[in-house]
Amino acid sequence: MSRIASCFERHANENKKVLVIYIVGGDPNKAVTVELMHRMVASGAGMIELGVPFTDPEADGPVIQYAAQRALAANTTLRDVLAMVEKFRERDRETPVVLMGYLNPVEKMGYERFASAAEKAGVDGTITVNAPPEENDLLDRCLIARGIDPVYLLAPTTSDARARLVFSRSRGFTYYVSLKGTTGASTLNVAEVQARLGGLRAFASLPIAVGFGIKSGAQAAEVARFADGVVIGAAVVEIMEKYRSTPGVIPARVGEFIGEIRAAMDANGS
């Protein structure tokens, strides 16, 4: 069983939902990331989404775009992000790490070379935003052969027919984008998300994590009532932006926020 599947199973057995935290590798500098990852886990994150900085993002709002710019200004590359995962694995062999980003850096490295390097580093999954399942068979085969789970996105506009395709091609879990917009958008209609997930459950073959627009413990607890996982990214990255000039305090400040989110979810029985 993969680390991702084990994570969801373990949380389910404890009547909890997985808290997934997203950061951009190398933001605001490369020295911060690994320590921050460990603090995130200690504070209640069950899974880490580690963003690979890219110059031309398509799904990210301004907060995460700026984070990617800071990481790129620190000369962070895909190889650097893989090295961060490998360093993290020296102390943590349990927490799943999913790389989230865009196909372009992977294509430059080469699918086989990337999959091999990701396996060596200890990567558990990938979310490649601009690589739909209809066009990603070659990379998927390279990843799956090395025990790495390709994770695909569902959206409010995804038809049932395409949702079935997404479930069939995903491994580990599927990621439901909770709103029509980019990361960090301000409006989240929890009732609409719950209704859509209720329909998807009829043929869902994997756990479903919900992200985009979740910014508070109260929202996370609401979503956790019906989702298998809650993804928070922009709200964490906003804290990192606030303290970018004093990066040494970032792990503590982010840890405090994650602790509040986890406490709200636990208090709600999720």
Residues annotated as catalytic are: 49, 60
Angstrom distance (rounded) from CA 155 to CA 222: 19
Angstrom distance (rounded) from CA 22 to CA 45: 10
E strand intervals along the chain: 18-24, 47-51, 97-101, 125-128, 149-150, 153-154, 174-177, 208-211, 229-232
Q: Tell me the two tokens of residue 138.
A: 């070659």
pLDDT band at 270 (very low <50, low <70, confident <90, very high): confident
- Model confidence over 54-83: pLDDT tens digits? 999 888 889 999 999 999 999 999 999 999
243-265 in b/e form (b: 16+ CB < 10 A) is: bbeebeebbebbbebbbebbebb
**pLDDT at position 137:** 96
Q: What is the DSSP letter of 230?
A: E
- Model confidence over 188-234: pLDDT tens digits? 789 999 999 999 999 999 999 999 989 999 999 999 999 999 999 99
Mention the CATH class of domain 3-267.
Answer: alpha beta
- Model confidence over 22-40: pLDDT tens digits? 999 999 999 999 999 999 9
| Rounded (5°) CA angle 151-234-192 | 70
pTM of the model: 0.96
Given a cut of 90, whether residue 185 has pLDDT beyond it is: no
Cis status of the peptide bond prior to 28, with omega within 30 of 0: yes
For 250-266, what is the mean pLDDT?
98
